[in-house]
Amino acid sequence: MTFESFPYNRPDMAELSQNFEKQLVRFQSAQTPAAQSRSLNSLNRVREEFWAMYNLCYVRHTSNTSDPFYEKENEYFDEQLPTFEALNNRFFQALLSSPFRDALEQKFGRQLFTLAELSLKTFKPSILEDLHQENSLSTEYTKLKAQARVEFDGISYNLSSIHPLELSDDRHVRRRSTEAKWNFFSGHTEAIESIFDKMVKVRHRIARELGYKNFVEVGYARMRRSDYSPAMVANFRRQVRDILVPVASELYERQQKRLGINKLKYYDEEYKFPTGNPKPLGTPDEIVGKAALMYRELSEDTDRFFRHMQEAKLMDLVNRDGKSPRRLLYLHQQI
């Protein structure tokens, strides 16, 4: 089976909610650790089916934001994700209050409960509408970038295909192509600033409704940051300022001298050498073939994994119109 043939079925939220409720009742009424463990596995199967369909929709939508079918399906998930989060919230509460918590921790690990605690910090039923708006704004911005058109010397580019020109050996071309890209954003200032303004406000409302001073604490909990704190990140930022910034400044000075220019401009920063940056050699298929050889020589495990990625067509490496730029294919974080 290849990625194109993976079956997609829109989750019926009424049916899913009913099944979820049934499994949750079984979990809460379990009389032994073994019975509750089985109920936990059944609950996870319901949750995994929803996330599988969501991620399949997400990948196909961001592969081609002009596809009307997956555009509608993505809108559906934007609307239903908060509802599903409400179901998960009830599950996390039941999990944390389980009378068999010690036994479940021993079997499933302490991290499961840590993640559940973090998840409870990010949701209340009163923020459902705000979560829906947040999802819609994120989708709106993704689509705006994916469908961007940059006009340069009579040719129309998207935000990915213009990038090689921004690395041109001709400094004049680098400057003009980079200006053309940023002119697109300048021309859409009103739309972009409107999205940003609405996103800041809706996230601040979410944070305040959840009892926080601002969205920072919500963001940490959403990203499941259980192993380091805001104070540790603040210390890291100080280290970046005091240690890495001086090193970066020195590297930029060396780059300026290498390139033989009076002043390093923003359109020069990614152009590293006077002979030009390293460029991919060969067609996409040839490059993937070389990668396959590398993974085959590296180990049996990496060879088997990469061959599976090829055979199931799980890699989407070629630029095209409508594809979300520099798209990251990820599975939604879940527990």
Q: pLDDT band for position 327 (50/70/90)?
A: very low
pLDDT beyond 70 at 330: no
Average pLDDT of the chain, as a whole number: 94
pLDDT band, residue 4 (cuts 50/70/90): very high
Cα angle 96-98-100, degrees, rounded to a multiple of 5: 125
Phi and psi dihedrals of 284, rounded to 5?
-55, -40
Tens digits of per-residue pLDDT, 95-132?
A: 999 999 999 999 999 999 999 999 999 999 999 999 99
Can you name the residues that pair with 157 across neighbouring β-strands?
A: 150
**Model confidence pLDDT, tens digit, residues 25-44:** 999 999 999 999 999 999 99
| 149 contacts 103 by C-beta, under 8 angstroms | no
Token digits of residue 189: 């200032």
pLDDT at 72 over 80: yes
Name the residue with tokens 């995994």: 48
Side-chain half-sphere of 170: how many Cα atoms within 13 Å? 6
Residue 312 to residue 139: CA distance in whole angstroms: 27
How far apart CA 78 and CA 226 sit, in angstroms, is: 27
Whole-angstrom distance, CA of residue 149 vs CA of residue 322? 10
d(CA 188, CA 194): 10
> What is the C-alpha separation between 273 and 255, in angstroms, rounded?
7
Residues 98 and 36: beta-carbon distance below 8 Å:
yes
Q: Binning pLDDT at 50, 70 and 90, where does residue 288 land? A: very high
Q: How confident is the model at residue 229 (pLDDT cuts 50, 70, 90)?
A: confident
Rounded to an integer, the average pLDDT of 216-231 is: 90
Predicted TM-score of the model (pTM): 0.85
Two structure tokens written together for 321 = 């119109």
Q: Where are the domains of the chain?
A: 1-120, 280-320
Which residues, in sequence order, are CB contacts of 67 under 8 Å at separation 6+? 60, 61, 322
